[in-house]
Amino acid sequence: MKLTELLITDLDRELPITKRALEAVPDKPDWKPHQKSMAMGRLAGLVAMMPSWLTMMIQQDEFDLAPPAGGQSQFQMPSTRQQILDTMENGFAGARKALAGTTDEHLLKPWRLKAGGKVVAEGTRLSMMRDALMHLSHHRGQLTVYLRLNDVPVPSIYGPTADDQRFG
């Protein structure tokens, strides 16, 4: 099996569980469990945007999270429920299409993550994409804690929860 096919399989598995988590988010965009925590709306928007990072990793050799003075991020944070769900759906669809249109050789080429012009992470596109998918899982898990703290039923992710007995 090709590396691109493995990543597409990962995306196909992650899409419905990410969608369930985002659909459960209540309309409390400013709520946070602690003053140092990210607000729920921002966290949901981040989870929604993350699949699109894979497309960017295929199309660009690097990305700067905090571009030097005057630069802007290419990603706009969605804010409404519909924007969040549309961003997530479009991100997964775009990543799937980008993976289908690339090669395993391209996935083994270097990719860099920068902040303020400085390299903060570097690896093959494949390793950085896998990191991005793990990062998505991390923030999605964080979001489910926010749901629990707001008495919102937590959907099944990789297995049943106290609220949803499905297996993923």
Tell which residue, 12, 13, 63, 23, has the closest CA to residue 47. Answer: 23
Residue 159: inside a domain, yes or no? no
Is residue 102 within 8 A of residue 58, CB to CB? The reply is: yes
The count of residues in the chain is 168
Segment 61-79 mean pLDDT: 80
What's the total number of domains in the chain? 1
In the prediction, which pLDDT does 76 show? 80
In the prediction, which pLDDT does 49 show? 96
In the prediction, which pLDDT does 168 show? 62
Segment 95-106 mean pLDDT: 98
Is residue 57 within 8 A of residue 82, CB to CB? The reply is: no
Residue-wise pLDDT tens digits, 120-145: 999 999 999 999 999 999 999 999 99
Give the count of beta carbons closer than 10 Å to the beta carbon of residue 54. 26
Residue 141: inside a domain, yes or no? yes
In the prediction, which pLDDT does 73 show? 62
Query: Has residue 74 got a pLDDT over 90?
Result: no
Query: Has residue 54 got a pLDDT over 90?
Result: yes
Residue 65: inside a domain, yes or no? yes
**What is the model's pTM?**
0.93
Distance CA 115, CA 113 (A): 7
In the prediction, which pLDDT does 69 show? 72
- Please report, for the domain that includes residue 74, its CATH number: 1.20.120.450
In the prediction, which pLDDT does 166 show? 85
Residue 13: inside a domain, yes or no? yes
Give the count of beta carbons closer than 10 Å to the beta carbon of residue 77. 15
Residue 162: inside a domain, yes or no? no
Residue 136: inside a domain, yes or no? yes
Tokens representing residue 127 in the block: 């390793």
Residue 161: inside a domain, yes or no? no
Residue 77: inside a domain, yes or no? yes
Is residue 106 within 8 A of residue 100, CB to CB? The reply is: no
Q: Residue 140 is part of which domain span?
A: 3-149
- Which pLDDT band, with edges at 50, 70 and 90, does 68 fall under? confident
